[in-house]
Structure 1
Amino acid sequence: DDSISAYKWLLAKDIEPNNIIIGGESAGGGLTMATLLKLKDLKLPLPKVAVMMSPWVDLTTSGKSLETNYKYEPEIAEGVKQMAILYAGEKSTKNPLISPVFADLGGLPPLLIQAGGIEALLEDSILLAERAKSAGVQVTLEVYEKMTHVFQVFGDLLSESKKAFDNIKKFIESLP
């Protein structure tokens, strides 16, 4: 609700949706998607673009990368299983506002999704990109080999992080 209130505040201040970009990392990526879905349901104008870094968007924890990349990020693989139960509460983890990969993604703005090639949540990014593309959404998925969950936090200390932020800038600037 807070994200919707903040978005409505921007619109009330006459900020054009084409000048609004939303984004987040990890659970914030899931919140980004849930916000887009709620805005669409409310028939509000959507932002120009959404940018997500390692989004957590499938709280059923069925992604194969939770197992295949477990050796690189065991704390994340274990943690998301526990957090999914707490976050969903009494609701189904397949609820589209909890696990946006199960939503009707049609009509969303362009999406940029970045993920690390060895991260536990890699499958979330891949599945989100596939489902969004199938729904006709313009999607760019960037997988950075040998990178972990939210590797972008390393900023200029890691060349891949710098490249990821450069690509975010290029992606946004490439849109009309």
Structure 2
Amino acid sequence: TIMGDSSGGGLSAAFAQYLAANDLPQPENLILISPWVDVSMSGKYDDVEKDPMSGVEGLREMGRAWAGDLDLKDYKVSPLFGDVSKFPKTTIFVGTHEQIYHDVTNFYNKLKDNDINVELNIGEEMNHVYPVYPLVPESKEAFNHIVERILDSQ
């Protein structure tokens, strides 16, 4: 299992794309928690509730720094724009109050369109990386689901 949250979720997805591009074996599971899949922040963000974790302009600035010399839409930093046709079974978590909500749902739809075994778990009115916050009641259910996914692959 490869798992990551936020930028680590985007990095995990990009790594799966790198493995596929180099004909290397995929993990059995890819678990992405609020993955940052578009560091260019080129999507629509106006209709998302205010995310207390991050703002669009701040994310754009961090995206430019993260990408360095790479194009902001290079799959290595923005997996939304890469080839997902060889992805492993993928489980995604995202909250509806995240700035990146639509980017994540677009990524999910891209996986579905490529016939990938993918599951999208949406936390209604949840903020960025909600599954990792132990005091958020919804995180316990998400955490248990993650454990279940990992154990099912063993």
Q: Which runs of 4+ in 1 moved over 6 A?
A: none
Q: How many residues align?
A: 154
1:23-34 superposed matches below 5 A: 23-34=3-14
Quote the sequence identity (%).
34
Equivalent position of 1:80 in the other structure: 59
In the superposition, the TM-score normalised over structure 1's length comes to 0.80
In the superposition, the TM-score normalised over structure 2's length comes to 0.91
1:22-171 superposed matches below 5 A: 22-64=2-44, 66-69=45-48, 71-73=50-52, 75-155=54-134, 157-171=135-149
Residue 74 of structure 1, CA deviation: 7.0
1:120-161, CA deviations, whole angstroms, 9 ceiling, x for partnerless residues? 111121011001111121110011001000112212x22100
Query: Which runs of no fewer than 5 residues in structure 1 stay unpaired?
Result: 1-20
The higher-RCO structure (CA 8 Å, 6+ apart) is 2
1:88-144, CA deviations, whole angstroms, 9 ceiling, x for partnerless residues? 223211111111111110111010000011111111210110011111211100110
Name the one with the larger helix percent: 1
Query: Which runs of no fewer than 5 residues in structure 2 stay unpaired?
Result: none
In the alignment, is the contact (CA less than 8 A) between 1:29 and 1:53 conserved in 2? yes
In the alignment, is the contact (CA less than 8 A) between 2:49 and 2:99 conserved in 1? yes
Distance 1:163 1:74, change over 3 A: closer
Q: Which has the larger radius of gyration?
A: 1
Residue 60 of structure 1, CA deviation: 2.0
What is the RMSD computed on CA atoms of the aligned residues? 1.7
State the SS of the aligned residue for 1:113.
strand
State the SS of the aligned residue for 1:112.
strand
